[in-house]
Amino acid sequence: MSEQAAAARASGRLNADAALELADALDDALEHARLVLLELQDVSAADAAGLDAIISRSARARQDGSRLLVIAAPPHLDAPLRLAGVELLTADPDAPTGSDAGPPANAVNARVVPGRVMSVDGRVVWLHAADGQVHRAWAPEDVRQRLRAQTWVDLFLDERDRLNGWYEAQAGMAINQRLAEADTTPETGAPVACQGECGVVWQAAAPARLLEHHERCLTCAGALVPG
């Protein structure tokens, strides 16, 4: 099994025919991913077949050492799925958005979107972004230990939706993973401090490369110096 995550959405009525399609999609996702996120916000109704497609895949994922996580299940699905032991994450309508939760608006990357950290086993942190994508986020060991499950963060994405870094406002944890090798997960990071208006101190996966390439702060485009 790979180290990748996957996301899926269901909408409308989960009747017998739709349940077959959903089951096939979940089977394929769970075959290739350790973490599968299933969004049910737009499901209007589900019969026994629809519920079983989700419940049975959730149980199978646990047996195989992977994870199926249901996001934003409507009330008519929340109770039966929760009762059956399916892991649910309920959307928080009061969760802060990028400009309210963290540092100034992103001046370097294409956009900032609110993401939710998923608590998973392993050396990496997974983030589910508001755009529906699942992102692999780097974090030093001490940050992973401090990070609360299901907390809201700001994701810093480039024009290709690659994850450049993330920021968790409550704990003030700022992560910059720009220029890090894709398969590198160092246990520790090095601080690089923004000399601009935000003053954020980033924990960087590749600090030497950031400074060598004259990278700028992810939030305010200020110059970076060793922290």
CATH homologous superfamily, domain 5-89: STAS domain (3.30.750.24)
| Closest to 38 measured CA to CA, from 61, 77, 69 | 69
Euclidean distance between the first and final Cα of the chain, in Å? 38
| Predicted local confidence at residue 131, as pLDDT | 73
Cβ-count burial of 19 within 10 angstroms (0-12 exposed, 13-18 middle, 19+ buried)? buried
| Predicted local confidence at residue 183, as pLDDT | 65
Q: Provide the 3-class DSSP secondary structure of residue 28.
A: helix
Tell me the pTM.
0.70
| Predicted local confidence at residue 90, as pLDDT | 61
- pLDDT tens digits for range 185-210: 788 889 999 999 889 999 999 999 99
| Predicted local confidence at residue 195, as pLDDT | 94
Residue ranges of the chain with per-residue pLDDT less than 70: 1-3, 90-110, 119-123, 182-184
Label residues 124-145 b or e (16+ Cβ within 10 Å = b): bbbbbbeeebbbbbbbbeebbe
- pLDDT tens digits for range 36-55: 989 898 999 999 999 999 99
| Predicted local confidence at residue 97, as pLDDT | 46
| Predicted local confidence at residue 99, as pLDDT | 42
The residues of the chain that CATH labels 3.30.750.24 are 5-89
